[in-house]
Chain A
Amino acid sequence: MASAEEGGSTATQYIQHHLTNLKFDLSSMQIDGHASGFWVLNVDSLFFSIVLGVFFLYFFRLAAKKVTASEPSGLQNFVEMVVDFTDTQVRDIYHGDSKLIAPLALTIFVWVFLMNFMDLIPVDALPAAAHASGIEYLKVVPTTDLNITFGLSISVFLLMMFYGIKVKGGVGFLKETLTHPFGPWLAPFNFMLFLVETIAKPVSLSLRLFGNLYAGELIFILIATFTLGAGASLLAIPMFILQVLLGVGWAIFHILVITLQAYIFGMLTIVYLSMAQQDH
């Protein structure tokens, strides 16, 4: 949580700088920090998201390649623990026969956890390194980017629709949206309720993850501003001690938060997908 940051002299600028993505404008095909509109890629979010996903898949694939039914070794033990945990959760909640749900849940658990974990890296470490190599903006926690969390939750939402229609059939699915829960005479009201219920799921799913991580990241940034520009004043020493203590405390608490949020996201995905396949 080093506080030296050349980009911003005041706390507001410092915070603003930390919350700005490294953007790539697809229309002008160049890196542009102030790009706006839809056809813009948040390069930093995507980069860390992909790197962490590849990291996850690399180690799990490594374990899967060397997997043996006899005595498992270190990596295999760990991977099996995670896989077994996922399998147990999926088995408890989901009773359909889709082969997709369990791998999907495993991917969400591990990937979201890893993306959340970026929050525990000191807020200035990677941006400072990037700045040194000429990159102006860098946001290192992908799950503090709404695009990333909505990317996950909308994918889950599409799967919910897909499985709902697949299990109940197009007509059955439509019928349920119109007749459930108050019977066919209140069809418009039922449909409104269905819309709210259905849209609330992916929105709450992604906003919960985003909110928790964004708030966590913001508090880390705020803690980092304690000694910002304090120079050699007398106040610098107690402020530095306070910053270290708060930073450590928040980081320890955050270990719980990032794990819990990854768990909640994965569990709710399983729950929503199993609900989508159930007949009311």
Chain B
Amino acid sequence: MSINATLLAQMIVFAIFVWFTMKFVWPPIMQAMRDRQKRISEGLASAERGVRELNEATAKAEEMVGKAREQSQEILSNAQRQANETLDRARDEARAEGDRIVAAAREEVDQAVASAKEDLRREVGELAVVGAERILKREIDAKAHNDIIDDLVTEIR
């Protein structure tokens, strides 16, 4: 139990062990632990960011869907209105065309009636004149009795 050279040997051994620990053991382990710490905090931060981004995206998507719905509603109502307008216009046009056709037909009929009446009147006039000549056995001065003939024609009419 006395102090001897073991003391010196132990000091040298101690120095070598501490040097080895400082050089080859401590730095890599600390580095790994620090890396892991960094990685974990980064992971947590990115998870948080992901959640926030997801929320933002969801909100944006909802907004877009709402807008699209609005737009489609608008397009639909526009189309409805346009269809109604087209239908109305077509109906009006058809009605106008029909009226026009009817009016033209009526006019034609009227013309035909009028010309038929004229023909009839002229022929009746002539017949009356012929008839009267026959009755009177003489020529009637057409000019002199024109007023009578006209009266007749008027009556016939």
Q: Which residues of A does B touch, CB under 8 Å?
A: 19, 26, 36-42, 45-46, 49-50, 53, 56-57, 60-61, 63-65, 67-70, 72, 79-80, 83-84, 87, 99-100, 102-104, 106-107, 111, 145-148, 150-152, 154-155
Q: Give Cα A61–Cα B2 distance, bound, in whole angstroms.
A: 35
Instruction: Tell me if B142 is interfacial: C-beta within 8 Å of chain A.
Output: no
A42 touches B4 (CB 8 A): yes
Q: Within 8 Å CB of A99, what residues of B?
A: 22
Question: Known: A46-B13, A63-B29, A83-B26. Contact between A38 and B4, CB under 8 A?
Answer: yes
Q: Give Cα A109–Cα B46 distance, bound, in whole angstroms.
A: 38
Interface SS, A side: helix
Instruction: Tell me if B25 is interfacial: C-beta within 8 Å of chain A.
Output: yes
Question: Known: A61-B24, A64-B28. Contact between A107 and B9, CB under 8 A?
Answer: no
Q: Give Cα A41–Cα B4 distance, bound, in whole angstroms.
A: 7
Of A65, A70, A72, A150, which one neighbours B3 at CB under 8 angstroms?
A: A150
Chain B interface size, under 10 / 10 to 19 / 20 to 34 / 35 or more: 20 to 34
Question: Known: A53-B13, A60-B21, A151-B14. Contact between A26 and B5, CB under 8 A?
Answer: yes
Question: Known: A53-B17, A64-B28. Contact between A70 and B36, CB under 8 A?
Answer: yes
A107 touches B6 (CB 8 A): no
Per the 8 Å Cβ criterion, residues 1-45 of B in contact with A are 1-11, 13-15, 17-18, 20-22, 24-26, 28-33, 35-36, 39
B22 touches A46 (CB 8 A): no
B17 touches A148 (CB 8 A): no
B9 touches A151 (CB 8 A): yes
Q: Within 8 Å CB of B29, what residues of A?
A: 60, 63-64, 67, 79-80, 83
A57 touches B25 (CB 8 A): yes
A40 touches B5 (CB 8 A): yes
Of B3, B13, B15, B33, which one neighbours A50 at CB under 8 angstroms?
A: B13
Of B10, B21, B31, B39, which one neighbours A151 at CB under 8 angstroms?
A: B10
B13 touches A147 (CB 8 A): no
B13 touches A45 (CB 8 A): no
Question: Known: A80-B29, A147-B10. Contact between A41 and B24, CB under 8 A?
Answer: no
